[in-house]
Chain A
Amino acid sequence: MKGLSRREMWAGLAFVSPWIVGLGVFLLYPILASLYYSFCDYSVFREARPIGAANYVDLASDKLFWKSLLNTLYFAALSVPLGLILALALALLLNSGVRGLTIYRTIFFLPALVPMVALAVLWLWIFNGEYGVLNSALSSLGVPAPGWLTDPAWSKPALVLLSMWGVGYAMVIFLAGLQDVPVHLYEAADLDGASWLHKIRHVTLPMVSPVILFNGIMGIIGSLQYFAIPYIMTPNGQPARSAYFYAMYLYDNAFLYLKMGYASAMAWILFLIILCLTLLSLRLASRYVHYEGG
């Protein structure tokens, strides 16, 4: 028996060995190095030189840091809740016993498949101030057309709007959650004469609350790292840095100004923000989220 378990141990380590290397080289080493660099003056071309907490101190008085952070929080605060509501609403519609469910599901999911760069280029065209289809539709309806990507007041709402187009992933996850809600709960509610709104509020929402939590946390993590779309659509955060996001400033620090220690400090602050918001969501969840059988 001893021999067998020893053999099993070696076999186990052999199977896992690629990951032991991968975890060490591509995760644990970079994590530790990044923490060290965040306390250093570092550009790839020179050795890292420790400078204590100077990067963090400098960040505290860096106006662009605060601006990019606030822009990012603004974007997340709008796009995450609105995305959750839209995804859940679409999933509820799909789950109401419609004919052609798979066709509608495909239609709502397709935009989520569009590669980020193609999506950015396409929406640059749709939002275009002179020939854009959105503004010509708005003006034919008599609505004044905003300068979506040229007016600092509209650039973030424009990006929130286009993020609604990509709710397909969250919708599919919601739909799976809704399909798992036992029918007998609705039947019981029907017997009690519950209205549609009552059933949503007292059956559906509690039953899918773990899925709302999951999609919410995923949304927070994703939106705080928002990069490719604004990098292409609002280069340098134009107009007037109104669409300059945290990850863009981080990237610029690392690869444009070669302030890699500074960028690493930003990355750790980002991680702490994500961690705090995730823990906060989980805390809120312990009050509102209902786990079946748990």
Chain B
Amino acid sequence: MKARHPLSRAIVYILLLGGSFLFLFPLFWMISTSLKPVEETMALPPRWIPSSWQPDNYWKAVTHGSEILGYTPFLEYGKNTVLLCVLVVVGALISNSLIAYGFARLRWPGRDVLFGVTLATMMIPFPILMVPMFSLFRHLGWIGTFRPLWIPAWFGSAFNIFLLRQFFLTIPRELSDAAVVDGCSEFQVFRHIIVPLSKPALAVVALFQFLFTWNDFLGPLIYLTDQRMFTLSLGLQFYQSQHGGTEWHLLMAAATIIVLPVIILFFFTQRTFIQGVAVTGIKG
């Protein structure tokens, strides 16, 4: 619905600008604090822009405690997080696309019942699974390793299966039928026809899985025990609980380090991203 009257257009722009200020300010404040000398973080009234820029804060935040620990904690956390993200994204792409193909394109007894069960499991809140998963992983000897955080991703997840199945259903059947007549196996149809045509949907799955893993806090909190194996999120929380309340400039630098990659990724994938979010709302 368009706002046409000049006055109403003016109101719309005033609200948008005011809203933009409120939504951007916390991010601005995070970055501004992260570049301040420590005394200035406690200046009253607060200074908007640092009087002298301290990019050094980032190095201090990243290496904080490395003399005691014998390693550089945030670099280690960063490596762990990237490794987990890669394992999860690759696993989710392979498993969910195969599974969704089985649901979307092939007929077999029990398919629709199993798909119904799959959708129903989306209703189950994580706290129900938490305790049995923990004891299962403990029996397997996986607590304190990365395995609980990435291996399940290789076995599919209901939401991704649903998303990809809906997409695969929109690909004309004639394309794959022709290939089957030409003697292609189901796997070849999947690999050479369905996957190349499904890049937008696969990109959405990859993005959401990446974000989930990058942001996840509860999983690492439950399963990781060794400080060296912490992810960035868990590492930042640990750091905050140890040094909170004093070194705000370093905390903000560490927070910025975690936020920036996500924002950069968003700018490069904005279209896929926004469409992905919108699709989950409409199809869901």
Shortest 8 CB-CB contacts between residues of A and residues of B: A22-B155, A15-B102, A173-B281, A176-B278, A12-B108, A12-B106, A33-B132, A16-B102
Q: Which residues of B contact A (CB under 8 A)?
A: 1-4, 8-9, 12-13, 15-16, 19-20, 23-24, 26-27, 29-30, 33, 41-46, 95, 98-99, 101-103, 106-109, 111, 114, 117-118, 121, 123-136, 138, 152, 154-157, 161, 186, 190, 211, 214-215, 217-218, 222, 232-234, 236-237, 240-241, 244, 248, 251-252, 254-256, 258-259, 262-263, 266, 270, 274, 277-282, 284
Judge whether A238 is part of the interface by a CB distance below 8 angstroms.
no
Give 12 A-B pairs besides A260-B135, A264-B132 with Cβ atoms closer than 8 angstroms: A14-B102, A16-B111, A23-B121, A107-B23, A109-B274, A110-B263, A114-B27, A122-B29, A172-B277, A204-B1, A264-B128, A275-B123
In the complex, chain B residues whose CB is within 8 Å of the CB of A231: 217
In the complex, chain A residues whose CB is within 8 Å of the CB of B121: 23, 27
Instruction: Name the prevailing secondary structure of the B interface residues.
Output: helix
A111, B23: Cβ atoms under 8 Å?
A: yes
> Nearest Cβ in chain B — how far from A45, in angstroms?
9
Instruction: Name the prevailing secondary structure of the A interface residues.
Output: helix
A106, B98: Cβ atoms under 8 Å?
A: no
In the complex, chain A residues whose CB is within 8 Å of the CB of B3: 96-98
- With A and B bound together, what is the CA distance between A275 and B123 in angstroms? 8
Judge whether A72 is part of the interface by a CB distance below 8 angstroms.
no
A107, B24: Cβ atoms under 8 Å?
A: yes
A250, B278: Cβ atoms under 8 Å?
A: no
B1, A95: Cβ atoms under 8 Å?
A: yes
Q: List 30 A-B contacts (CB under 8 A).
A: A8-B108, A15-B106, A22-B152, A23-B121, A26-B129, A26-B155, A27-B124, A33-B135, A33-B136, A44-B135, A98-B13, A108-B23, A115-B262, A122-B29, A125-B33, A131-B43, A131-B248, A165-B23, A176-B279, A196-B1, A200-B1, A215-B281, A225-B125, A231-B217, A235-B241, A254-B131, A260-B134, A260-B135, A264-B128, A267-B128
- With A and B bound together, what is the CA distance between A197 and B17 in angstroms? 22
A18, B127: Cβ atoms under 8 Å?
A: no
Could you mark each residue 105-124 of chain A with 1 if its beta carbon is under 8 Å from any beta carbon of chain B, else 0?
11111110111111011111
Task: Known contacts A23-B117, A113-B262; decide if A225 and B127 are in contact (CB<8 Å).
Answer: yes
B118, A111: Cβ atoms under 8 Å?
A: no
Interface size on A, residues (CB 8 A): 106
- With A and B bound together, what is the CA distance between A34 and B126 in angstroms? 11
A93, B217: Cβ atoms under 8 Å?
A: no
Q: Which residue of B lies closest to A211 (CB)?
A: B281
B16, A232: Cβ atoms under 8 Å?
A: no
Judge whether A74 is part of the interface by a CB distance below 8 angstroms.
no
Contact residue among A19, A102, A124 (Cβ-Cβ distance under 8 Å from B156): A19
> Nearest Cβ in chain A — how far from B255, in angstroms?
4
- With A and B bound together, what is the CA distance between A23 and B190 in angstroms? 22
